[in-house]
Amino acid sequence: MTDRPVSAVFSRGTRHEQVVFCHDEHSGLKAIIAVYSTALGPSLGGTRFYPYASEDDAIEDVLNLSQGMAYKAALAGLDLGGGKAVIIGDPKTDKTEPLLRAYGRFVQSLAGRYYTACDVGTSSADMDVIARECSYVTGRTVEHGGAGDSSVLTAFGVYQGMRASAKHRWGSPSLEGRTVGVAGVGKVGHHLVSHLTAEGAKVVVTDVSADAITRVVGEHPETTTVDDTDALVRMDLDVYAPCALGGALDDATLDVLKAQIVCGAANNQLAHPGIEKVLDERGITYAPDYCVNSGGLIQVADELEGFSFERAKSRSAKIYDTTLDVLRRADADKVPPSIAADTLAEQRMRDVGRLRSVWLP
Ligand SMILES: NC(=O)c1ccc[n+]([C@@H]2O[C@H](COP(=O)([O-])OP(=O)(O)OC[C@H]3O[C@@H](n4cnc5c(N)ncnc54)[C@H](O)[C@@H]3O)[C@@H](O)[C@H]2O)c1
Domain ranges of the chain: 7-70+81-144, 151-348
45 three-class SS: strand
H-only helix segments in the chain: 7-10, 55-75, 91-94, 97-109, 124-130, 151-170, 187-199, 210-219, 229-233, 251-256, 275-281, 289-292, 295-303, 309-317, 319-333, 337-353
DSSP 237-257: -SEEEE-S-S--B-HHHHHH-
Ligand 1 centroid, distance to 287 Cα (angstroms): 17
pLDDT tens, residue by residue, 265-313: 999 999 999 999 999 999 999 999 999 999 999 999 999 999 999 999 9
201-206 LR contacts (CB < 8 Å, sep 24+): 201/175, 201/176, 201/177, 202/177, 202/178, 203/179, 204/179, 204/180, 204/232, 204/235, 204/237, 205/181, 205/232, 206/181, 206/182, 206/231, 206/232
Asked whether 72 and 297 are in contact (CB, 8 A), the reply is: yes
Give the atom of ligand 1 at the shortest distance from the alpha carbon of 209. Answer: 37
**Residue 163: pLDDT over 90:** yes
| 186 among annotated binding-site residues | yes
- pLDDT computed for residue 149 by the predictor: 84
Give the atom of ligand 1 at the shortest distance from the alpha carbon of 242. Answer: 11
- pLDDT computed for residue 4 by the predictor: 53
- pLDDT computed for residue 199 by the predictor: 97
Burial 28-67 (b: 16+ CB within 10 A, else e): bbbbbbbbbbbbbbbbbbbbbbbebeebeebbebbbbbbb
104 three-class SS: helix
Handedness of CA 91, 269, 216, 150 (dihedral sign): positive
To test the pocket of ligand 1, the residue of 122, 188, 217 to mutate (highest count of ligand atoms within 8 Å of its CB) is 188
Ligand 1 centroid, distance to 42 Cα (angstroms): 27
Query: Whose C-alpha lies nearest to ligand 1, atom 42?
Result: 266
Least confident of 57-66, 73-82, 141-150, 232-241: 141-150
Which residues make beta-bridge pairs with 203? 180
Asked whether 28 and 97 are in contact (CB, 8 A), the reply is: no
Distance of alpha carbon 238 from alpha carbon 225, whole angstroms: 16
Asked whether 141 and 125 are in contact (CB, 8 A), the reply is: yes
List, chain by chain if needed, residues with CB within 6 Å of any ligand 1 atom.
150-151, 154, 183-189, 206-209, 212, 229, 243-246, 265-267, 293, 296
| 188 among annotated binding-site residues | yes
- Global confidence as pTM: 0.93
Distance of alpha carbon 156 from alpha carbon 152, whole angstroms: 6
- pLDDT computed for residue 2 by the predictor: 47
Q: Are strands 202-206 and 81-88 parallel, antiparallel or unpaired?
A: unpaired
Fold match between 7-70+81-144 and 151-348?
Answer: yes
Ligand 1 centroid, distance to 253 Cα (angstroms): 18
Residues with a catalytic annotation lie at 84
Mean of all residue pLDDT scores within the chain:
95
| Percent of the chain clearing pLDDT 90 (strictly above) | 91
Distance of alpha carbon 316 from alpha carbon 296, whole angstroms: 9
**Residue 7: pLDDT over 80:** no
pLDDT tens, residue by residue, 173-228: 999 999 999 999 999 999 999 999 999 999 999 999 999 999 999 999 999 999 99
| Percent of the chain clearing pLDDT 70 (strictly above) | 98
Distance of alpha carbon 149 from alpha carbon 359, whole angstroms: 39
Class of 151-348 in CATH: alpha beta
| 208 among annotated binding-site residues | no
**Residue 1: pLDDT over 80:** no
Query: Whose C-alpha lies nearest to ligand 1, atom 15?
Result: 187
Handedness of CA 150, 50, 108, 124 (dihedral sign): positive
Query: Whose C-alpha lies nearest to ligand 1, atom 6?
Result: 293
Give the atom of ligand 1 at the shortest distance from the alpha carbon of 151. Answer: 3
Give the atom of ligand 1 at the shortest distance from the alpha carbon of 189. Answer: 16
Identify the band that residue 5 occupies on the pLDDT scale cut at 50, 70 and 90.
Answer: low
Write the CA distances from 189 to 35, 258, 361, integer angstroms. 30, 20, 48
**Residue 343: pLDDT over 80:** yes
To test the pocket of ligand 1, the residue of 149, 185, 187, 226 to mutate (highest count of ligand atoms within 8 Å of its CB) is 187
| 189 among annotated binding-site residues | yes
DSSP 123-138: -HHHHHHHTTS-S-B-
- pLDDT computed for residue 345 by the predictor: 97
Ligand 1 centroid, distance to 181 Cα (angstroms): 14
Strand ranges of the sheet holding 18-24, from the earlier edge strand across to the other edge: 18-24, 29-37, 81-88, 43-50, 114-118
Ligand 1 centroid, distance to 355 Cα (angstroms): 38
CATH fold label, 7-70+81-144:
Rossmann fold (3.40.50)
